[in-house]
Structure 1
Amino acid sequence: MIGMGAMIGAGIFVLTGLAAEISGPAAILVFLLNGVVTAFTGLSYAELASAIPKSGGYAFVREIFDDFGSFMMGWMLWFAYIIAGALYALGFAPNFIELLHVYGLTAAPGEVGAVILPVLGVGVPPRFILAFVAVAGLVALNAASTAASGSAETVFTIVKVTILMMFVAFGFLSAGGGGETSFTFQNFDPLFTEGSGPFSILPAMGLTFIAFEGYDLITTVTEEVENPRENIPKAIFVSLLATVVVCLLVVTVAIGTLGATELAAAGEAGIAEAATSFMPTGVPVIQNGGALIVFGAVFSTITALNAVVIASSRVAFSMGREGQLVQSVGQIHYRFGTPFVAVLLSAVVMLGSVFLPTQSAGNMSSLFFLLSFIIVNVAVIRLRRERPNMNRPYKIPYYPAPPLLAIALNAILAVVLIRFLIQTDLLTLLLSIGWLGIGAVMYVALNKYRTRGTAGGTEATTDQPATDGPREE
């Protein structure tokens, strides 16, 4: 549920129309190929998780690379989850306002004015306030109880998958029905329209790659599940397969009913507009298909946000436990049994990140995930070479072809995305480089701090016994 909750997030709702704008009807190939590309890395995550069942997601790299290399991987992965969280929080706000608007409780999202803060007298856009509330609420839940946050993720994920399956079912039922809403799949012919040739798939894949990021979050809670050597690989494969199937069905119905041109014109509201075109109206509570999709988008952003709050805090916790952040970050709260300080630290950075432009947040997150996936595939190759006799309950089939393909494909998408950012969103590239620079400075500063602490007898060494991971309540 953590994996599916993160992957079937805001991406499928808001990025489908944007993908159609770039690649036309071939947007369906964009989602299919992204699923294939990410599956190769999924194989590497499964083998590493079965061999090294530690929480944090970057623990595999810690076993293989030097201290600085593993720190930078953890630093980059931690921030990628945080930025993804900011993106989901920003996606939650307009969808929630739109949901209230559907039921006549507020004006449309673009017409809602700023909220004046009582004490400061400063006007703040409501999307920022709602993003703050969403992050704060889920942080409180995760800080207080691991079990409660996991249960919430399960319920929310089931609700949104059910909504998407209703969208798919009504879409296929309307095909060939003879009414105004009936459709055939002639909207996919030709697959490549004028101005969107085969090479248009690549930038669209880079933009939508974040829609298939999420199965890696499963490895961040490895120590909190039973029999992780067996269950973590299973969870990766099941969540990835289910997500690919759901995404392909949704994109097929969206393009088949609305057409790529209209879907592209609708932009982030493409799925909702497609639902309005063929789903029944006048249904009690639901009202119409667009309202149902907005309802699903609210649940999707909340589940994706909850998943990355869990994941980002576990990366920070793992880094603290390994001595790569201050010691308090890697400790479990004596009462709640959660990585309390790690959750709060991640929340502070996430709350600060909600002021980033939405597109910049999405692009930065995708870039960091692509780079981290390359490192994970390199890690599985090095581990095979350096520790051939290591216990590996799961082994990648046809090794070394899958990790080598994953490295090549992720590198191609990363290069395409960087080129796209240079042309259209230079701010994102500069912010990404800046964050890596801050990480390098932080690494040097923490090393000096630990050296002084060790010399004074106040800081524990980094090879102390590991603290137990967060516990299930």
Structure 2
Amino acid sequence: MSSHGERSPEASLGLLDATMIGMGAMIGAGIFVLTGLAAKTAGPAAILVFALNGVVTTFTGLSYAELASAIPRSGGGYAFVNEVFGDLVSFLMGWMLWFAYMIAGALYALGFAPNFLELLHIYFQGGVPAPEHAATVIITGLALGAVALLVLLNALSTAASGSVETVFTLIKVAILVVFVGFGFTAARFSGAEFQPMFPAGHTPIDLLPAMGLTFIAFEGYDLITTVTEEVKNPRKNIPRAIFISLLATVIVYFAVVIVAIGTLGAEELGAAGETGIAEAAKSFMPSIPVLGGGEALIIFGAVFSTLTALNAVVIASSRVAFSMGREGQLLPRFGQIHYKYGTPAVAILASAVVMVLSVLFIPIRQVGNLSSLFFLLSFVVVNASVIRLRRERPNMTRPYEMPFYPVPPVLGIVLNVLLGVFISWQTWALGVVWLGLGVVVHWSLERAKERRGSGAPSTEADASGTDIQMQPQQED
């Protein structure tokens, strides 16, 4: 696929598209599978778990919003850190995020397949559940097919992939709204299920491990900043999209958890585990024409959730790779824009290759926790970037400035580190290994540039025609 670097990314996404990228990632499969697990750990206080996670992630969201308004460049956290810290720190930031997004993509693809099979069995076999152990080849084939389809869409058109994300996200939000509406009016819904909030066997300390378990459900607004240059009027629309997506997601999560506990009870919901929401829907929802019963509706929503989350991380991972390539920290071809389609096609395909290899060969469930660890670490570095940028460049143009500075970034650092404590030492060990490999890769790339007679990334990028300067965008 021929491409060259004479074009800048096209600003084809509006405020709604940017917001849906964030919500598409946050309201993913997590709300369907993590609610029961949170209830098992924290009991009725699971509603506090999701509310507190919303507060924790908002502190970092404020940092992302301020940095995006001041540094309107694609690449998300990597672009911000690259502006503030040195080459090695920014490379490791991009190295972490690229890996985390690609592994998350493989997880979403593998999550889509069994939900899709379950949906087929419900509709075509009269509600008979899918085999508990579906053939691995079928699961893998469906996962790879989903990746291939969304990669092709993203490579051909950013606007089309953004539109698909918007439509699919609105569908799954509508499904959850239907679930909440029926739940609040159901005869079996009772506020007594929340009394006491901490029954025997549960204490407030249980909130912390439950928060660590479900925090991944709030990772997603950061994806919005990976497409900054492809959003119209990014200095205003990126912060708006971050706050709208966060607020809407917290409201949806809170309502869903209240209904699930209020109808099924925390004990029964916890016993159901990953199928908790489906069990709750089955207990009170009537059969809906075409869609079927409550369980079928939830599985239908899970299919759309995994697809939108997968599409969002295809977008995000490729933009991190694109930004790193443009800055000379990955192969220069990664930082090129396709001459015909106006997309970072090489970066998209490279990210897709890693996702495919992850689906086929990596013990994805085990390294999935590593993705969560890297997100927490990246949030710590982003909060630190706000503090350092404020100190070193106090007069920098910041269309959005967070309130009560420096309280939000300091709290963001402390709370993200605290949640990281509850991640296993095995995951931390894997993280150290991956970062060590990143140091080796960075050193190798720098050595290669020196051998070619240029030690400065910008000089090499200019020479190869891949240093794509962001064009100023007109405000709407």
Distance 1:431 1:457 in 2: 31
- For residues 335-350 of structure 1, the aligned pairs below 5 Å read 335-350=340-355
| Inter-partner Cα distance in structure 2 for 1:361 and 1:186 | 39
Q: Does 1:466 align with 2:472?
A: no
Instruction: Return the match for 1:9 from 24, 28, 31.
Output: 28
In 1, are the aligned partners of 2:208 and 2:419 still within 8 Å (CA)?
Answer: yes
Contact map agreement 2:335 2:467 (CA 8 A) in 1? no
Aligned 1:284-303 pairs, distance under 5 A = 284-303=289-308
On the 8 A contact 1:142/1:343 being kept in 2, the answer is yes
Q: Deviations over 1:373-413 (max 9, x none)?
A: 00000000000000011001100101111111111111100
Superposition map of 1:322-341 within 5 A: 322-341=327-346
1:349-384 deviation line (CA, Å, top 9, x unaligned) = 112222545543442221111100000000000000
Please say if residues 183 and 285 of structure 2, whose CA atoms lie closer than 8 Å, have aligned partners that are also in contact.
yes
CA separation of 1:448 and 1:191: change in aligned 2, threshold 3 A: same
Aligned to 2:235: 229
Shift in Å at residue 95 of structure 1? Answer: 0.7
Q: 1:229 to 1:256 in 2, by over 3 A?
A: same
Distance 1:407 1:458, change over 3 A: closer
Deviation, structure 1 residue 229: 0.6
Q: Does 1:26 align with 2:45?
A: yes
Q: Secondary structure at the match of 1:325?
A: coil
CA distance in 1, matches of 2:90, 2:456: 26
Structure 2 distance, partners of 1:409, 1:192, is 23
- Aligned counterparts of 2:455 and 2:429: Cα–Cα separation in 1: 39
Instruction: Report the Cα offset of residue 21 of structure 1.
Output: 1.3
Q: Offset of 1:456 from its aligned partner? A: 12
Shift of 1:132: 1.1
1:119 aligns with: none
Structure-2 separation of matches of 1:138 and 1:469: 26
Over 3 Å counting, the alpha-carbon distance change for 1:95 and 1:265 in structure 2 is: same
Alignment of structure 1 residues 30-179 onto 2, 5 Å: 30-57=49-76, 58-104=78-124, 108-111=129-132, 113-114=134-135, 124-174=136-186, 177=187
Aligned to 2:439: 440
TM-score, normalisation: structure 1: 0.91
Change (3 A) 1:456 1:416: closer
Structure 2 residue matching 1:195: 3-state secondary structure: coil
Letter in 1 for 2:171: V
Partner SS state of residue 389, structure 1: coil
Q: Structure 2 counterpart of 1:186, which letter?
A: A
Distance 2:420 2:462 in 1: 35
Distance 1:108 1:437, change over 3 A: farther
- Residue of structure 1 equivalent to 2:10: none
CA contact (8 A) 1:317 1:342 kept: yes
Q: Does 1:450 align with 2:456?
A: no
Q: 1:269 to 1:366 in 2, by over 3 A?
A: same
Percent identity, aligned pairs only, is 67
* Contact 2:29-2:305 at 8 Å conserved across structures: yes
Deviations 1:327-364 (A, max 9, x none): 00000011111101100111111122225455434422
Distance change (3 Å), C-alpha of 1:388 and 1:456: closer
Aligned residues: 449
Q: What is the alpha-carbon distance in structure 1 between the residues aligned to residue 275 and residue 444 of structure 2?
A: 45
Task: Write out the 4+ residue segments of structure 1 that deviate beyond 6 Å after TM superposition.
Answer: 456-459
Deviation at 1:270?
0.6
Could you say which residue in structure 2 is the equivalent of 1:394? 400
Structure 1, unmatched stretches of 5+, are 115-123
CA distance in 1, matches of 2:382, 2:115: 34
Residue 366 in structure 1 maps to residue 372 in structure 2: yes
Residue 117 of structure 1: aligned partner:
none
State the AA in 2 paired with 1:259. Answer: G
Contact 1:99 1:291 in 2 (8 A): yes
1:467 partner amino acid = I
Alignment map for 1:300-311 (pairs within 5 Å): 300-311=305-316
Matched-pair contact (CA < 8 Å) for 1:450–1:459: no
Does the CA contact (< 8 Å) of 1:112 and 1:126 recur in 2?
no
- Structure 1: distance between partners of 2:304 and 2:58: 25
Moved more, 452-461 or 324-333: 452-461
Matched, 1:353 2:377: no
The two structures have a TM-score, normalised by structure 2, of 0.90
Aligned 8 A contact 1:87 1:358 in 2:
yes
1:321 is displaced (CA, Å) by 0.2
Q: Say yes or no: does 1:204 pair with 2:216.
A: no
State the AA in 2 paired with 1:144.
L
Q: Report the CA distance shift for 1:277/1:321 in structure 2 as closer, same or farther (over 3 A).
A: same
Q: CA deviation at 1:112?
A: 5.4
CA distance in structure 1 between the partners assigned to 2:263 and 2:79 by the alignment:
45
Question: Root-mean-square deviation (CA), in Å?
Answer: 2.2
Contact 2:328 2:457 in 1 (8 A): no
Instruction: Establish whether residue 375 from structure 1 lines up as the match of residue 381 from structure 2.
Output: yes
Query: Deviation at 1:284?
Result: 2.3
Specify the code of the residue in structure 2 equivalent to 1:295: F
Displacement of 1:469 after TM fit? Answer: 6.4
Secondary structure, counterpart of 1:103 in structure 2: helix
Partner Cα distance (2:285, 2:22) in 1? 29
Letter in 2 for 1:466: D
Residues 290-313 of structure 1 show CA distances to partners (whole Å, capped at 9, x for unaligned) of 000000000001001100100000
Any gaps of 5 or more consecutive residues in structure 2?
1-19
